[in-house]
């Protein structure tokens, strides 16, 4: 008797594929957490530096040297990463009266407008899901992606004083910009919880897939953001391109409507937009079986996100060493 028959679930059936993915992603998260805690438990943060100073780290600076210590440095500078994110969060709501409430008001108002326009006026189908929840389940990842992308793209320029005066792995700056938007995402997701309680909407097991989907949105924002932030240093044109991309993206992504209204033969093409997969995934995870998932498109989106992220890191690493000279 094996596990499958015991639970009465066939893990490998297509309809249970998301469950499998969710299970795997949770496993990966637990593993990562274990590794992290093990490392920091082994030696205190202070010890990290102390042990370095007794061993006298040897550093070689050379032209065109692909810095072998880069990833180690990235780990060493993790506190700076944390401090930069902390600074941006602190600064964002200084001298505002309602402070952190802004993180709630913006998505809430957008959701209201979208519900009225797409749900009430255009009367788009929602498969018996309350339209506010339909919109908000998509609004969450989209706002996260849009904010993260624009913050990330400007991050190097707005930290140019750091870039030209201190050394640290530059990857920290755009990455911490994405983290800041992630905090906003967490805050505004309380609205979704409130909405679900209000509409007495029962969550499904698909919710387990959310961490994976958030990681996907994170990767998409970081990938795009790395491209734009590096290009922005050389060509300031991207300062104007990014807001346009974000605005445009809101309409070509299924935020105000369900992607089910896209004709079947165009859906694979539509999924070339990486956020389509993420948003559909979010809807599927939160709303459950009321929305049918289009798997080929989802897989395509994942592929595109990975491509974006890997090429983004590659381009960033290649141009990084000239940042201080041209910023």
Partner 1 sequence: MSNPIIKVENLSKKYVISHQTSGRNRHGTLRDAITDGFKSVGKRFTKQSNTADPEHEDFWALNDVSFEINQGDRVGIIGRNGAGKSTLLKILSRITEPTRGRITIEGRVASLLEVGTGFHAELSGRENIFLNGAILGMSKVEIKRKFDEIVAFSEVEKFLYTPVKRYSSGMYVRLAFAVAAHLEPEILIVDEVLAVGDAQFQKKCLGKMEDVSKEGRTILFVSHNMAVVQALCDRGIFLTQGSVSNNDSISNTVNAYLTSLEQAKDDNLLHRTDRRGGGKVRVSRVTLHRAKEGSGNTESLFQVGDPVKIKIDFEGDCLGLECRFTIYEQQGQAIATFSSADRSELDSPSKQSSGFFVCDLEELLLMPGRYRINVALSGNHALQDHLEGAAFFDVEQGTVRGRPVLPNSYGYVHFPHRWSEI
| Structure-derived torsion over alpha carbons of residues 137, 140, 141, 146, reported in degrees to the nearest 10 | 140
The residue assigned the tokens 């948003």 is: 279
Binding map of partner 1 across residues 262-301, x = CB under 8 A, - = no contact: ----------------------------------------
Total number of residues binding partner 1 (CB under 8 A)? 46
Quick one: which H or E segment has residue 78?
helix 78-92
Are the C-beta atoms of residues 73 and 167 closer than 8 Å to each other? no
Q: Which part of the chain contacts partner 1 (CB under 8 A), choosing from 43-51, 112-120, 248-256, 291-299?
A: 43-51
CB of 119 to partner 1, least distance (A): 40
CA dist 30 and 34 (Å) reads 6
Sign of CA dihedral 92, 180, 232, 273: negative
Residue 166 near partner 1 by CB under 8 A: yes
- Nearest by Cα to 140 from 90, 115, 106, 173: 106
Residue from 3, 7, 46, 66 touching partner 1 (CB under 8 A): that is 46
> Does 39 help bind partner 1 (rule: CB under 8 A)?
no
Give the x/- contact pattern for partner 1 in 61-90, rule: CB under 8 A.
xxxx------------x-xx-xx--xx--x
Interface characters, 225-244, with partner 1 (x: CB under 8 A):
---------xxxxx------
DSSP 121: I
Question: What is the DSSP code string of 153-221?
Answer: HHHHHHTHHHHHH--S-TTHHHHHHHHHHHHHHHHHHHHHHHHHHHTTPPP-GGGGGHHHHHHHHHHHH
Nearer to partner 1, 1 or 66 (CB): 66
Q: Which of 14, 165, 264, 265 binds partner 1 (CB under 8 A)?
A: 165
317 is an interface residue for partner 1 by CB under 8 A: no
User: Which residue ranges make up the site for partner 1 (CB under 8 A)?
Assistant: 44-46, 48-49, 52-53, 56-64, 77, 79-80, 82-83, 86-87, 90-91, 94-95, 159, 161-168, 234-238, 321-322, 324-326
């Amino acid at each position: 008797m094996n596990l499958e028959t015991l639970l009465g679930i066939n893990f490998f059936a297509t309809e249970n594929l998301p469950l499998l993915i969710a299970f795997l992603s949770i496993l990966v998260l637990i593993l990562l957490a274990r590794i992290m805690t093990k490392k920091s438990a082994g030696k205190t943060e202070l010890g990290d530096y102390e042990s370095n100073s007794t061993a006298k780290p040897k550093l070689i600076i050379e032209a065109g040297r692909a810095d072998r210590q880069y990833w180690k440095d990235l780990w060493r500078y993790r506190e700076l990463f944390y401090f930069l994110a902390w600074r941006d969060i602190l600064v964002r709501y200084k001298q505002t009266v309602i402070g952190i409430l802004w993180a709630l008001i913006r998505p809430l108002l957008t959701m209201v407008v979208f519900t009225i326009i797409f749900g009430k006026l255009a009367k788009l189908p929602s498969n018996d899901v309350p339209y506010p929840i339909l919109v908000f389940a998509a609004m969450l990842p989209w706002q996260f992606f849009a904010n993260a992308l624009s913050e990330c793209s400007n991050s190097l320029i707005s930290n140019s004083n750091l870039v030209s005066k201190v050394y640290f792995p530059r990857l920290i700056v755009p990455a911490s910009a994405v983290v800041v938007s992630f905090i906003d995402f967490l805050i505004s997701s309380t609205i979704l919880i409130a909405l679900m309680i209000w509409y007495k909407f029962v969550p499904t097991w698909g919710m387990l897939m959310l961490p994976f989907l958030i990681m996907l949105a994170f990767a998409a924002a970081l990938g795009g953001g790395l491209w734009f932030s590096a290009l922005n240093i050389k060509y300031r044109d991207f300062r104007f391109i990014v807001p346009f991309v974000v605005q445009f993206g809101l309409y070509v992504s299924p935020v105000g409507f369900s992607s089910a209204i896209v004709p079947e033969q165009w859906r694979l093409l539509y999924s070339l937009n990486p956020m389509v997969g993420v948003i559909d995934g979010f809807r599927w995870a939160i709303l459950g079986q009321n929305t049918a998932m289009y798997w080929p498109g989802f897989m395509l989106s994942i592929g595109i996100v990975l491509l974006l992220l890997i090429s983004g890191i590659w381009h960033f690493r290649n141009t990084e060493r000239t940042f201080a000279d041209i910023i």
